[in-house]
Amino acid sequence: MAREKFIDQVCGPLWIKDSLIGKVGAVFATGGGYGNTGGGAELTMLALLNNFAELGMVMVPLPKITPGYPLGGLQRGPYGRSAGENMEQTGVTEQRLEASKYHGANVARVAAALTGKELFAK
């Protein structure tokens, strides 16, 4: 689903109902272009994190100490780049997936720690 469609069709109705205030949010992205993320992955991350903030979500970043960060991450979250430095198609390598695995575990940890807690004043 394209990010605009996701934001309009999924996030919009949840925002109206205040359904995600205090819930945990995080981003993962893929891209195939040259550069750090390529293929629009960084813009997708920024757009989603902006929406998560508007929804009142608690966002989980990707700390630079995360295993796999140097090849597969930005502070916003992990990305699976599917092309090499010379635009050769490599697929998403295990090295690049490593940051995603740890990010998913961190998201689960934060969600477990916040379960049942009222985080924001009403």
**pLDDT tens by residue, the chain, 122 residues:** 676 788 889 888 999 999 999 999 999 988 876 655 566 788 889 988 999 999 999 999 999 999 999 888 889 999 888 877 777 788 888 878 999 999 999 999 999 999 999 999 98
Compute the Cα dihedral for 62, 65, 67, 68 and give only its sign: positive
Give the per-residue pLDDT at 104.
97
Residue 31 CA to residue 43 CA, distance in Å, equals 11
Start-end of H helices in 28-85:
41-54, 69-72
Give the per-residue pLDDT at 64.
95
